[in-house]
Amino acid sequence: MAYSEPYDALDEKTRDISRAITSLREELEAIDWYNQRVSTTQDQELKDVMAHNRDEEIEHAVMAFEWLRRNMEGFDEDMRTYLFSEGSLLEVEDKATAAVAPKGPASTMTIGNLKN
């Protein structure tokens, strides 16, 4: 596991979050590999085994996401915004950011206004 900051400078929660993100990355990579194998194998029994393995990795990835939702600031709010939403994700984002956009004169500022 690689850290961008000195290991000793990180508290235990930050290290746990890093472990979870690393595990999630590994699970997603395994899902991709198994899915490619399912797509390319011609042997139906092997295809079934690989699909089963892929689906187990999906379960592991979702569990890691849930741990992050419970333990890392920001995940819960964003998951509640985007997961199981309908329509365009960019429209969901527009609605979510409009709900927290500043109101009043500051929201109408442009670069042109700042030049004067």
pLDDT means over runs of 10, the chain (116 residues)? 89 96 98 98 98 98 98 94 93 88 58 55
Amino acid identity for residue 110 in this structure: T
Res 93: pLDDT: 93
Backbone angles phi, psi at 87, to 5 degrees: 80, -165
Q: pTM value? A: 0.77
| Inter-residue contact 47 to 41 (CB < 8 Å) | yes
